[in-house]
Amino acid sequence: MTWKRLFGPMTGRIVFVFGITVVVGTLASAVDNLDALVPGLIVGGAWTAAGAKRGLPIFATSRDRRAAADQIRTRRRILLASLPILVALGFTVLPRVPHRMMGTAFMLVALVAAVPFCVLALTECPRCHRHIAVGTGPSAPLVPFTRCVHCGEKLIGGTG
Ligand SMILES: [Zn+2]
C-alpha cells in the first residue's frame, strides 16, 4: 500500500499522538467497556497510521485513462452493491445483538460499506494523481466519485 503525504511533521505528530491516545485509552478501559475495544482500535489505529505516515493511503489506478475509468467504475459498483447488504445486515443482525455489544456489532456492520467507500474515496486520480474525493477543490462534484475534486477529471468514462 502506498501513502500520499498530505500534511507536515507537526500535524503528523499531533494526529499520531491523538491516535495513540485513543488506542491506549481503549485498551485501558477494555476491562470495563469491552464493547468499545473494536471501534476504538479501528478508529485509533487509523489516526495513528495517518499521523505516522503524515497522510492517507492511496489506491493506484492504471496509467491508461480508459483502464483507470474502468477500475473506478468497478469500485463504484462494489460500493453501490454493499449498500443493500449494509441495510440487510442492519435490519437482521443488529436487532439480535445484545445491547452491551452494540458498538462492536455496529462497527463491524458499518465496515461492509465503509471499506469500499474508503477505497473509492482514496483512489488515485489518473490525471493529477491525488485522491479523487479527499479534500476540496474547484471541481467538488455534485455526484460523488464522478469527477476528481482537485482537477475535474471525469472518472466514469463513457459520455457526459
Ligand atoms: Zn485529479
pLDDT tens-digit series, residues 4-26: 999 999 999 999 999 999 999 99
147 shares a domain with 73: yes
31 shares a domain with 15: yes
116 with 110: CB under 8 angstroms? no
CA distance 104 to 115: 16
User: Which of 25, 42, 57 is the C-terminal boundary of a domain?
Assistant: 57
State the distance from the centre of ligand 1 to the C-alpha of 149, rounded, in angstroms.
Answer: 7
80 shares a domain with 53: no
State the distance from the centre of ligand 1 to the C-alpha of 55, rounded, in angstroms.
Answer: 17
User: Which of 30, 57, 84 is the C-terminal boundary of a domain?
Assistant: 57
15 shares a domain with 76: no
Q: Which domain holds residue 51?
A: 1-57
State the distance from the centre of ligand 1 to the C-alpha of 138, rounded, in angstroms.
Answer: 11
118 shares a domain with 99: yes
State the distance from the centre of ligand 1 to the C-alpha of 81, rounded, in angstroms.
Answer: 25
Number of structural domains, the chain?
Answer: 2
CA distance 11 to 29: 27
Residue 159 has pLDDT above 90, yes or no: no
pLDDT digits (tens, 9 = 90+) for 65-99: 889 999 999 999 999 999 999 999 999 999 999 99
Q: How many CA atoms lie within 13 A of 115 on its CB side?
A: 11
147 shares a domain with 82: yes
Whole-model pTM: value is 0.87
80 shares a domain with 11: no
pLDDT digits (tens, 9 = 90+) for 24-61: 999 999 989 999 999 999 999 999 999 999 999 999 99
89 shares a domain with 50: no
State the distance from the centre of ligand 1 to the C-alpha of 58, rounded, in angstroms.
Answer: 13
State the distance from the centre of ligand 1 to the C-alpha of 32, rounded, in angstroms.
Answer: 46
User: Which of 33, 57, 81 is the C-terminal boundary of a domain?
Assistant: 57
53: cell is 505516515
100 shares a domain with 116: yes
CA distance 91 to 96: 9
State the distance from the centre of ligand 1 to the C-alpha of 66, rounded, in angstroms.
Answer: 14
State the distance from the centre of ligand 1 to the C-alpha of 155, rounded, in angstroms.
Answer: 9
Q: What kind and span of H or E run contains 58?
A: strand 55-58
| Burial bucket for residue 100 (CB in 10 Å: 0-12, 13-18, 19+) | exposed
92 shares a domain with 120: yes
68 shares a domain with 131: yes
